[in-house]
Structure 1
């Protein structure tokens, strides 16, 4: 997990007025990312973890 990217999500995305569902997706992607911003979870994994249907 990249705490750097997680900080960007909460400081940037959440503060800019993004929908909560979008912020949740960004936060999960940040959790899967390394410090270079590389991540590869599937869409199905993200949807399941945030409780979104596909």
Structure 2
């Protein structure tokens, strides 16, 4: 978990409700570069929503530019996410 990424989400993200919870859950898993690869089930459990709703919210967060998702890029072919919230988007960190 990166405190810097988590703080940036709290300070700068302009989303609310379940979308904010999913973004905070991603931040909780993120390294200091804002990159993480949690499963949908883990995000759903942290955000206390269904897996289907997490998938919908991830798409919305990607659409508005708060995350970049690379399908199958992480360890064992899991999805990798990079948080792009201002303050958490660290220079030189590629997904």
TM over 0.5: yes
Alpha-carbon RMSD across the aligned residues, in angstroms, is 1.0
Pick the structure with more helix per residue: 1
User: Of the two structures, which has the highest relative contact order with CA contacts closer than 8 Å and spacing of 6 or more?
Assistant: 1
Residue 24 (structure 1) aligned with residue 18 (structure 2): no
| Cα deviation code 1:13-38 (max 9, x no counterpart) | 1xx3x122111111111110110111
> What runs of 5+ residues in structure 1 fail to find an aligned partner?
none
Task: Kindly tell me the number of residue pairs found equivalent between the two proteins.
Answer: 51
**Alignment map for 1:5-44 (pairs within 5 Å):** 5-13=5-13, 16=14, 18-44=15-41
Q: Quote the Cα distance in structure 1 between the aligned partners of 2:16 and 2:27.
A: 17
- Structure with higher Rg: it is 2
**Alignment map for 1:43-54 (pairs within 5 Å):** 43-53=40-50, 54=52
Length-normalised TM-score, structure 2: 0.50
SS state at 1:4 partner: helix
